[in-house]
Amino acid sequence: MKHYSVLKKETIEGLKINPDGIYVDATLGYGGHSEEILRKMRRGSLFAFDQDEEAIHFSQERLTKVSPNFEIIYANFEHIKEALEVRNISKVDGITFDLGLSSPQIDEASRGFSFMQDAKLDMRMDQNAKRSAYEVVNHYSLENLIDVFFTYGEEKQSKLIAKRILKEREIKPIETTLELVEVIKAAVGTKYFVTQHPERQIFQAIRIEVNNELKVLEKTLVDAIELLNLGGRICVITFHSLEDRIVKQIFKKFSEINPLVKGLPVIPDEYKPILELVNRKPILPTEEEIKENSRSKSAKLRIAERI
């Protein structure tokens, strides 16, 4: 199985791993980042989160070959705090998030993530979750669809596309990915479709809605920052502007002096920043990495340290 871990070298260097520390891979996937973390450990421990059973099975075998010092937790990373508390862990030395879909998830047509392969409308990261892309496309109201497409896809023609979906589903349910692509094409016309590729934005929007990605990310980043030991680092790889904006804003909030007390001769401790940005601008993939894995092109890595 071919899987590329994006910005792997930069992420591992950014974590500044203590061989005896406790680390969290919040997005295990197919284990690329976790494997490198384990290689740098002596007596440390790694806790990795994922809700994709296939990825977990693959990574369990992969990581076992490197070290026994890990545990894979079958859960969405929004449960990071509670899951670690249950294991008597209140502080960690580093946390990494890779928010992209892994290549096998995209390439496996049956998962319904790709607009280039025909499959049932699914897009669930967790195969046991109830809400799938089918429910969003066939059961959401016109207003809800417009909101999802515009907010999560930033698609200019959201209204046209949502109206067309409602028209088509009155005749029969929209069941597959390529059926949905044809509906999008019919809504916007061939010229706009070929030049602007609205299907990319719409599929992204549906995926984010199905998996509640942005709301979960916002909550979890705050939890992750609170979990860090002094000197502990958090590394986050994003793949689109909505995710990157959330990471940038939260890092900014925790790395600046509270505006209420800015300018005072003495800043009370509770108003001092708790993060320091390791990189002001995001780290981008090298030309070599983009050549090897074109899907890394939109990736951005932001790193911050607990102070």
Q: What pLDDT was estimated at residue 1?
A: 52
- pLDDT tens column, 168-218: 999 999 999 999 999 999 999 999 999 999 999 999 999 999 999 999 999
Q: Are residues 115 and 200 in the same domain?
A: yes
Task: Establish if 66 belongs to a structural domain.
Answer: yes
Q: Which residues contact 181 (CB under 8 A, 6 or more apart)?
A: 115, 199
Q: Are residues 201 and 163 in the same domain?
A: yes
Q: Are residues 187 and 274 in the same domain?
A: no
Boundary residue ending a domain (211, 230, 261): 211
* Residue 131: both structure tokens together: 């809400």
CATH number of the structural domain spanning residue 151: 1.10.150.170
Task: Establish if 2 belongs to a structural domain.
Answer: no
Boundary residue ending a domain (149, 179, 211): 211
Task: Establish if 106 belongs to a structural domain.
Answer: no
**Owning domain of residue 219:** 8-98+214-306
Boundary residue ending a domain (159, 185, 211): 211
Task: Establish if 81 belongs to a structural domain.
Answer: yes
Compute the average pLDDT of residues 210-234.
96
- pLDDT tens column, 1-44: 556 789 999 999 999 999 999 999 999 999 999 999 999 999 99
Q: What pLDDT was estimated at residue 260?
A: 80
Task: Establish if 103 belongs to a structural domain.
Answer: no
When divided into structural domains, the chain yields a total of 2
Q: What pLDDT was estimated at residue 256?
A: 93
Q: Are residues 19 and 73 in the same domain?
A: yes
Q: Are residues 218 and 280 in the same domain?
A: yes
Percent of the chain at pLDDT exceeding 90: 83
Q: Are residues 224 and 144 in the same domain?
A: no
CATH number of the structural domain spanning residue 284: 3.40.50.150
